[in-house]
């Protein structure tokens, strides 16, 4: 019996990677040409990286806990949940606050804000796409092992 696993199409995967790459490029351009003080630029770079890393941690945390809830067993402690969600909220809030308080043109702030939100959105999509592929690979490997064991 042949089992088929749902996988994303190559076109979708390419679109996700291209979207993430464009978002990173736009953020890099916005931060590279950020007028004002070097300290503001450094703060914004750290904020963007803080947000980006927290997106992947939050996406993994939510997915792991949803799977474990369906199986009836806990993966993470409640304290870790607060740390993950708190880190994400703090990263977003501090980056937004830093962007709003900078003394730069409102149009430039809008560019930074939109590119930042685009980065966050595309990173969540990328995290889901990568996780889906990983889980499909694991299921296929498990099915192959079971098929080999039955054949022996």
In angstroms, rounded to a whole number, what is the distance separating the alpha carbons of residues 89 and 149? 47
Residue range 43-73, pLDDT digits in tens: 999 999 999 999 999 999 998 888 777 777 7
> Apex CA 130: angle with CA 2 and CA 121, to 5°?
135
Determine the length of the chain.
152
Q: What mean pLDDT comes out for the span 116-143?
A: 92
Tokens of 104: 């730069």
Kindly state the average pLDDT of the residues 95-118.
93
Task: Please give the helix or strand (H or E) that residue 41 lies within, else none.
Answer: helix 38-71
How confident is the model at residue 2, as a pLDDT? 59
Burial 107-138 (b: 16+ CB within 10 A, else e): ebeebbeebbebbbebbbbbbebbebeeeeee
Query: In the chain, what are the domain boundaries?
Result: 10-131
Among 102-106, 117-121, 122-126, 146-150, which is the least confidently predicted range?
146-150
Spatial contact of 17 and 148, defined as CB atoms under 8 Å apart:
no
Q: Cα 133–134–137 angle (5° rounding)?
A: 85
């Amino acid at each position: 019996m042949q089992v088929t696993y749902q996988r994303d199409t190559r076109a979708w995967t390419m679109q996700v990677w291209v979207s993430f790459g464009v978002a990173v490029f736009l953020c890099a351009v916005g931060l590279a040409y950020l007028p004002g003080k070097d300290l503001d630029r450094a703060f914004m770079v750290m904020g963007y990286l803080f947000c980006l890393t927290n997106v992947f941690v939050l996406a993994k945390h939510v997915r792991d806990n949803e799977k474990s809830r369906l199986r009836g067993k806990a993966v993470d402690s409640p304290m870790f949940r607060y740390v993950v969600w708190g880190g994400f909220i703090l990263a977003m809030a501090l980056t937004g606050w830093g962007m709003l308080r900078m003394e730069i043109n409102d149009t430039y702030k809008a560019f930074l804000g939109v590119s930042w939100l685009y980065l966050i959105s595309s990173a969540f999509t990328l995290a889901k796409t990568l996780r889906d592929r990983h889980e499909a690979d694991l299921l296929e490997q498990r099915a192959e092992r079971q098929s080999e064991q039955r054949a022996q």
